[in-house]
A and B are shown apart, each in its own frame.
Chain A
């Protein structure tokens, strides 16, 4: 299925979860903020399966301050 992440199309397996997407991007789930279809997700939602055509905006935070 196709999803859009930060404006770019990605091909992901059908049934892919948010958590799997984060892992495939090489990111830590606790360090990301994700908006899916205009809704900010809580980490408890990360095992939700993405649907075909889902639009995600993802911000990955790095340490230091």
Chain B
């Protein structure tokens, strides 16, 4: 029987309680604590994925984005008003360590390309594609399927607007490679990214990452 016991601090049944004060019966948080996840793109998808993984207890995140926080980003991205103008990597790190001071974060402040994606993939247990541009999404998947044997990869396509929730799906393309989204809803002037729906997709991605890390594929 699974159980979770929450206590404030100290020892429980001889086990050292973590800072969070929760003891997990199946050692899930221990396993996640030892995991490394790379998040490519820290916008509406990536920033939400990173927050969810930090809260879930992933121990190390490699965060890649070249961009800075802009005021319009606040409509859907996990940044704050006083972070406008900061690099997204720096701003997101600051927010994540407020959630979990023990989280290890490495920042990659650069535009990714094929070579850099391959290099990043070798350093993580799961790679998450959260790019904004369709061309980069295609590049990421092409690299994952062609160059990265055995990779665990979660991409996304079709997350804009406020169309029906249940059109957002997680689709397995092949072993270890998944694609989240409705495949159709592209961002355009009449259909922007909105926090609720991009959040649905981001949490599909984050949960799929957790499932991959826990060997539940």
The SS class assigned to the B binding surface is: loop
| Docked CA distance A13–B141 (Å) | 29
Q: A31-B134, A59-B179 are in contact. Are A65 and B41 (CB under 8 A)?
A: yes
| Docked CA distance A31–B45 (Å) | 18
Within 8 A of A (CB), among B18-61: 41, 43-46
Interface string of B113-138 (1 = CB under 8 A from A): 00000000000000000111111011
The answer, yes or no, to whether B212 is at the interface (CB within 8 Å) is: no
The answer, yes or no, to whether B151 is at the interface (CB within 8 Å) is: no
| Docked CA distance A6–B56 (Å) | 36
Q: Among A32, A40, A42, A63, which residue has its beta carbon within 8 angstroms of that of B186? A: A63
Contact A64 B41 (CB under 8 A): no
| Docked CA distance A16–B145 (Å) | 25
Q: Which residues in B have some Cβ–Cβ distance to A below 8 Å?
A: 41, 43-46, 130-135, 137-138, 141-142, 145-146, 156-160, 173, 179, 183-187, 193, 198
- Chosen A-B contacts, 26 in total, with CB atoms closer than 8 Å, are A28-B134, A28-B135, A30-B134, A31-B134, A32-B138, A33-B138, A33-B141, A33-B142, A33-B145, A35-B145, A59-B157, A60-B157, A61-B157, A62-B183, A62-B184, A63-B132, A64-B159, A64-B160, A64-B187, A65-B43, A65-B44, A65-B130, A65-B131, A65-B132, A65-B156, A65-B193
